[in-house]
Structure 1
């Protein structure tokens, strides 16, 4: 008699320490292969198939821990396996694979045949180090998919940060096991809110910690206080009115611009440099002064972000050492070159505009891209990547994150450690670039620089909060189009001037 209910026991396998054999390399085989790699990028996999689709061939060529054997299946192919996945469209062959696997006491998954499976590849929700597996006992993969989407939307991205902090806190605790568990339960209670008036079995819900709301309240209090102070000075101090009236109006344009660009960066995690630089060039600011303003405004924000990642243990120090020296050399060289050519800004400006035009197109392309990046082999020439990224970042007013971070992640590096390391190195890149610009430039458009610095600083604490209510894709499309149009305008004006 078949047992009622879900009798499955959920486990989490260390696939990077096991050998998985997949038989079949058609569309179903590709789906199974992608599912395994999505959960363990370093999984050791052998694929057995006579006919191989392009997707499987591409992944096997990219990843050296995938072995592709174009041959007919034999029972001997399972001798060194730990897990077996049958992904062929031949039901008789799938049954043979199951029989051979059981003879070797191996667990087997057979695609689209729940009754033949020893285990299922269920839907998985992933938030950094947190994973939640969903099973419908093979009854409805569609329901599992919808639940995955629901959890992905409901669980806050900050949950992984809380997880890392709890891990660090656990390592500081002393005492026996029960004492540690009691303390951790007290600290983590903030994550759960339950309605005391509801039934005892009411489902509790996970909520974001209240700290961001508290910080936002403090920030708004400061802003309101400053506004009141300025209003009092404006009404009672004629000298203050005269001082404000003497400020170049361009300061206010860049104050507003810096605020908007920082909000955009908080929403999509990129494009602050390219939007600020494109805007500066369109306002007549020379490339060197524009890049200086961008880097000065990023010193504080990147320093804070780098410190937070350091405290959470998100820094790969080996990667940091490989990036930092070449990155600084490239950034200082780029800043020195651009500053030396400040007198020829009318000629360097179109080249920088061309660079921002390309980045605008990249942003627009990413907005409509639905194809996930495949993991390449890890990048070997980290120093060269840092040198080029630092140089282009200084010359173009931005690009360190988009060039270096995207290359590291696409090359198979851990996203969390790559982000933390790039943010920390970005602080030093911005600092040294800014010092070079300040030293080299005899006269700079300080009103524009100050507006950009203050505007971005004002937006930083509230950018993430507001951005959660806006579609990231809509922002990326808008930013891409605006950057392209502004860059084209600068290039066209230069061409018309030359003609």
Structure 2
């Protein structure tokens, strides 16, 4: 609500000079008593606006004729009371704020006078000149609330601005607010120090130089890649010695270089499928299962390290979730790598069950992507450590699956897609590191050309993919994740059934 003091006597000239003279405030209606006179369509509109913003507001509706929808709201909201009677001025004796929403202009004037006699602020529907305050259009993203006022000139414009802001402001703003609140609670020192530290953290939101710096960094990165390509091409065409040396590199390196780049680009953008696709590609190229898994995990050290750092810089990490995933994930990964190195055929027994599990998760994710409404925190998965343990184990045994299993489960359980993606990518760095150490300790591989190709290709794609992921909407991430998980899972199940049958 936007309040305008009754004693304000601005002239037309004052209003033109001052622009909008209204002073915006936010009322704690759960601690005040709002009396709304009118139970028709206008009253229902005002009542709905109040309850949508203040569900625990104490509201008394007074009207002789009341719509069924108003009675339905009374059954849903405990603070809403209905008095089906004619209005009298004594009905305002215990009121703090008044809204007149009747279609009787004389009654509205009487209500306004009765409110002013008791020094109460009143809003008269569709009569700006009689209002002490206006009910503006509201944009809400969790704890963030923005009120829009056109000074009574055009409610339609206010509604259109509301639509624009609702579309442009990301839902993740509420998570950012919560993180800032947690950060503020951890800061020591005096008030000035806290303000300075919070200003430093949030400066990226308002300083155009920060955006310019990021663009400059990406320009440098692109220039480096382009320069390497130009130099390599020139050396190949004009230097016989370099060409002879390049020809000694195993040809599989170039195949895996391109494959690593493409798979990491997809994986970095949506948070999964790199392990599954890279392992499948490696097996199709004749690389044994254990060596294929080792190559995938070695390449993921650098790619996930870069991607995790990028997500950290973009604020996409849920640190509580990260801590719950990390240690169990490492334990599961090391155990799985040890078993696979000892028994290379082990993965064929786990893949059908994993594929069935991820197929179900893919369907759940797609259904949630298209489902309207806000997810409740009670829907979130609770056994994060067990999820990390199982995800790490299956990832090492099957050559991939950390993203498919962990990220899919987190999103299907109601977790924020973008923050889940960033957290899974950063934790993946440590999972891949420990898995790789275990594989190297136990295996002797002859496919280092394939490994090198995956490492370099995925490393080049990682920062590009991380940047892309931050531009994709949460719904798009969920849809992409769901579709890819379903396709990969169905393909794996079909191939298994064909072998069995």
Given that 1:156 and 1:208 are in contact with CA atoms closer than 8 Å, whether structure 2 keeps it comes out as no
Check whether the contact 1:328–1:429 (CA below 8 A) recurs between aligned residues.
yes
What is the distance in 2 between the residues matched to 1:453 and 1:30?
A: 60
Match of 1:330 in 2: 328
> Per the alignment, in what secondary structure is the counterpart of residue 490 of structure 1?
helix
> Residues 29 and 55 of structure 1: is their aligned pair in 2 closer, same or farther, counting only changes over 3 Å?
farther
Q: Deviations over 1:433-453 (max 9, x none)?
A: 224422444458877766555
Q: How does 1:30-109 map to 2 (within 5 A)?
A: 31-32=48-49, 35-36=52-53, 45-46=57-58, 68-69=78-79, 71-73=81-83, 105-107=119-121
Change (3 A) 1:90 1:427: farther
Conserved? CA contact 1:28–1:87, under 8 Å: no
2:317/2:423 contact within 8 Å kept = no
**1:397 partnered with 2:414:** no
Q: 1:130 to 1:72 in 2, by over 3 A?
A: closer
2: CA distance, partners of 1:280 / 1:472: 25
Q: What secondary structure, in the 3-state scheme, does the structure 2 residue paired with 1:72 have?
A: strand
Is 2:24 aligned against 1:11? Answer: yes
What's the counterpart of residue 458 of structure 1?
A: 460
In structure 1, C-alpha distance between the alignment counterparts of 2:113 and 2:317, rounded to whole Å: 47
Q: 1:481 to 1:143 in 2, by over 3 A?
A: same
Q: Is the 8 A contact 1:216 1:462 kept in 2?
A: no
**Distance in 1 of aligned mates of 2:210 and 2:169:** 9
449-458 vs 69-78, greater mean Cα deviation: 69-78
TM-score by length of 2: 0.62
Q: Residues 350 and 315 (structure 1 numbering): CA distance in 2 closer, same or farther, change over 3 Å?
A: closer
1:306 and 2:312 matched: yes
1:181-330 correspondence runs (5 A): 209-235=211-237, 236=239, 237=242, 238-247=244-253, 249-262=255-268, 265=269, 271-273=270-272, 275-280=273-278, 282-283=280-281, 292=297, 296=301, 297-306=303-312, 309=315, 320=320, 323=321, 325-330=323-328
| Cα distance, 1:130–1:33 mapped onto 2, change above 3 Å | closer
CA offsets, 1:49-81, max 9 Å, x none? 7967899699x7xxxxxx624653499999998
In the alignment, structure 1 residue 134 sits paired with structure 2 residue 148: yes
How far the C-alpha of 1:392 sits from its partner, in A, is 5.2
1:387 corresponds to = 385
Which structure has the larger Rg over C-alpha atoms?
Answer: 2
Aligned to 1:204: none
* Structure 1 equivalent of residue 353 of structure 2: 351
What residue number does 2:5 align with? none
Select 1:119's aligned residue among 133, 137, 150.
133
Q: Please give the per-residue CA displacement for 1:81-104, whole angstroms capped at 9, x wherever unaligned.
A: 866678899999999997887676
Q: 1:486 aligns with which of 484, 488, 492?
A: 488
Q: Quote the Cα distance in structure 1 between the aligned partners of 2:487 and 2:379.
A: 36
Note the C-alpha offset of 1:209: 3.6
Alpha-carbon distance change, 488 to 424 in structure 1, aligned in 2, over 3 angstroms? closer
Q: Is the 8 A contact 1:390 1:429 kept in 2?
A: no
CA distance in 2 between counterparts of 1:79 and 1:295 reads 70
Cα offset, 1:489, TM superposition: 1.4
Q: Give the root-mean-square deviation of aligned CA atoms.
A: 5.7
Give the conservation status (yes or no) of the 8 Å contact 1:360–1:483: yes
Q: Residues 330, 464 of structure 1: CA spacing in aligned structure 2 closer, same or farther, 3 A cutoff?
A: closer
What whole-Å deviation, never above 9, does each CA across 1:275-305 have from its counterpart, x for those lacking one? 3244346536669669846863323322343
Q: How far does residue 210 in structure 1 lie from its aligned partner after superposition? A: 2.2
The aligned residue for residue 197 of structure 1 is none
Specify whether residues 378 and 9 from structure 1 end up closer, same or farther in structure 2 by C-alpha distance, changes over 3 A only: farther
2:159 paired residue number: 145
Superposed displacement of residue 256, structure 1: 1.8
Give the drift of 1:497.
1.3
Separation of aligned partners in 2, 1:288 and 1:92: 81
**Residue equivalent to 1:372:** 373
Q: How many residues align?
A: 429
**SS of aligned partner of 2:57:** strand
Alpha carbons of structure 1 residues 295 and 406: separation in structure 2 relative to 1, 3 Å = farther
Q: Is the 8 A contact 1:306 1:423 kept in 2?
A: no
Instruction: Measure, in 1, the Cα distance between the counterparts of 2:471 and 2:423.
Output: 30
Q: Compared with structure 1, are the counterparts of its residues 332 and 468 closer, same or farther at alpha carbon in structure 2 (3 Å cutoff)?
A: closer
> In the TM superposition, what whole-angstrom CA distance separates every residue of 1:134-190 from its partner, at most 9, and x where no partner exists?
3233444332232344466788999999xx9xx99xx9xxxx9xxx9xx99xx99x9
1:498 Cα deviation from its structure 2 partner: 1.3
State the alpha-carbon separation in 2 of the partners of residues 454 and 54 from structure 1: 66
Query: Deviation of residue 496 (structure 1)?
Result: 1.7
Shift of 1:478: 5.7
Asked whether the equivalents of residues 306 and 462 of structure 2 are also in contact (C-alpha less than 8 Å), the reply is no
